[in-house]
Amino acid sequence: MRVSAKISSRTKYHDRLRRSESSEHVALTTMGMVGFRASGAVDRSSRRAVGSISCAIMMMMTPKLKVTIDVASVQPEDAMNVLRRISDVRLSDVALTENVAIERQSRYDPTTFVLHLPPDIGTEEADFLNRAGRAPDGRTLRALRFLYQHRREGRDIFLTNDMTLGTEGSEQRRRLADAARTRIMTLAEFEGFYVTGRA
């Protein structure tokens, strides 16, 4: 029984080793580096190159972001200057909460359109506003209505500098983001997380 147990564990070990070797072979084939692998000459820089290609592939496979800009609190041109830096690889389109002209248009700008509010508040929107703890002032109500429309269209990030929607890490913002099933970020937070990687 001991002998068969040893043989069984050894067989499992070799199976795992073969699977590992096979995975590495596929990764290196993608890089055109099978010859290096056969000669045992895969150095650190080659492995880094494989890692870089893998990251690039993952970026391409990641769904692109749909961003909404709250024009009442974020300067559209400032936001577009930031968004343009990731527009090729990470951005799908940009919704504006007002029909404003973007000065200094660039060919690198993402597609933009206006997110419209319906004239009346329906039952579902009223439920959302109640869950969000609607404040009585008109400015906050307007921002929350746009947040609801943003949610209805399945958008990813609501870009706002309106602190009445909560500050980073606050319970209020977490509650609103959960209710809207989205991320709420200031322009500075977005830039730090998606552009410069400071977050």
Domains in the chain: boundaries:
2-61, 65-195
The kind and range of the H/E element at 35 are helix 34-39
Whole-number pLDDT of residue 44: 56
pLDDT at 6 over 70: no
- The whole-chain average pLDDT of the chain stands at 74
Residue 62 binned pLDDT confidence (cut-offs 50, 70, 90): low
Angstrom distance (rounded) from CA 5 to CA 11: 10
Beta-bridged to residue 146, according to DSSP, are: none
Query: Locate tokens 């609103």: which residue?
Result: 176
How confident is the model over 169-174, as a mean pLDDT? 92
pLDDT at 146 over 90: yes
How confident is the model over 96-109, as a mean pLDDT? 72
pTM: 0.66
User: Of 172, 171, 169, which is closest to residue 189 (Cα–Cα)?
Assistant: 169
The CATH number assigned to the domain with range 65-195 reads 3.40.50
pLDDT at 50 over 90: no
Angstrom distance (rounded) from CA 36 to CA 58: 24
Residue 34 binned pLDDT confidence (cut-offs 50, 70, 90): very low
pLDDT at 196 over 80: yes
The residue that leads in pLDDT, 33 or 108, is 108
Burial of residue 70, with CB atoms counted within 10 A of its CB: 0-12 exposed, 13-18 middle, 19 or more buried? buried
Helices 171-180 and 138-152 pack at an angle, to 10 degrees, of: 40
The residue that leads in pLDDT, 27 or 61, is 61
pLDDT in tens, 17-26: 344 444 433 3
Helix (H, G, I), strand (E, B) or coil at 130: helix
pLDDT at 109 over 90: no
